[in-house]
């Protein structure tokens, strides 16, 4: 009798554990809000390149809409800085002023933090690169990929057509921008 009760109890516990694991596996992962990135009110549409104002708070706070990047701004002074491949470049031209958005896949902060953006101009070609590092030592980093974007302000350009390319092995196709 004791053996049957023990088997029954073991079976019930196993069934409960299996049910809990399968329910957890079907749940979406918890969302991770950007810890200290800020945006300007104009940055509520992450598809549009914007010039971010680091002094203004994030509108509404929280996570971006599904499929939209998290807007991040450079935080110089990170550790183990390395280039990250840009996946997409977008541009907005307002008169002669050009602002880009660079997008890439990366990890979450404090393990993957945008340190700096490099812009190199050679005639009418701009090569842009983003560099990330880590913000803290001894932190356990989870493997969650997130789409990030950062604005890159090229300023006022002379009239003409410019080519924008991703540097440091980025996979983004080159784009052309015409300034009137």
pLDDT (tens digit per residue) in 54-89: 333 333 445 667 779 999 999 999 999 999 999 999
Check: pTM over 0.75? Answer yes or no.
no
Which of 137, 136, 153 is closest to 54 using CA atoms? 153
User: CB within 8 A of 49, min separation 6: which ones?
Assistant: 90, 91, 92, 99, 100, 101, 151, 152
Greater model confidence, 85 or 31:
85
Helices and strands in the chain: count of H runs, count of E runs = 1, 9
Average pLDDT over residues 87-96: 97
């Amino acid at each position: 009798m004791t053996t049957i009760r023990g088997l029954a109890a073991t079976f019930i516990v196993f069934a409960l554990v299996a049910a809990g694991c399968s329910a957890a596996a079907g749940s979406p992962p918890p969302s991770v809000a950007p810890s200290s990135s800020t945006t300007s009110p104009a940055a509520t549409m992450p598809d549009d390149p914007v010039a971010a104002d680091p002094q203004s708070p994030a509108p509404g706070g929280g996570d971006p809409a599904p499929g939209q990047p998290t807007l991040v701004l450079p935080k110089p002074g990170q550790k183990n800085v390395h280039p990250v491949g840009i996946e997409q470049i977008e541009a907005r031209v307002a008169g002669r002023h050009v602002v880009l958005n660079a997008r890439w896949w990366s990890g979450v902060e404090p393990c993957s933090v945008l340190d700096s953006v490099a812009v190199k101009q050679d005639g009418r070609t701009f090569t842009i690169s983003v560099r990330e590092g880590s913000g803290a030592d001894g932190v356990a980093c989870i493997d969650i990929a997130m789409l990030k974007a950062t604005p890159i302000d090229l300023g006022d350009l002379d009239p003409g057509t410019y080519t924008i390319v991703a540097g440091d092995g980025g996979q983004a196709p080159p784009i052309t921008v015409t300034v009137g």
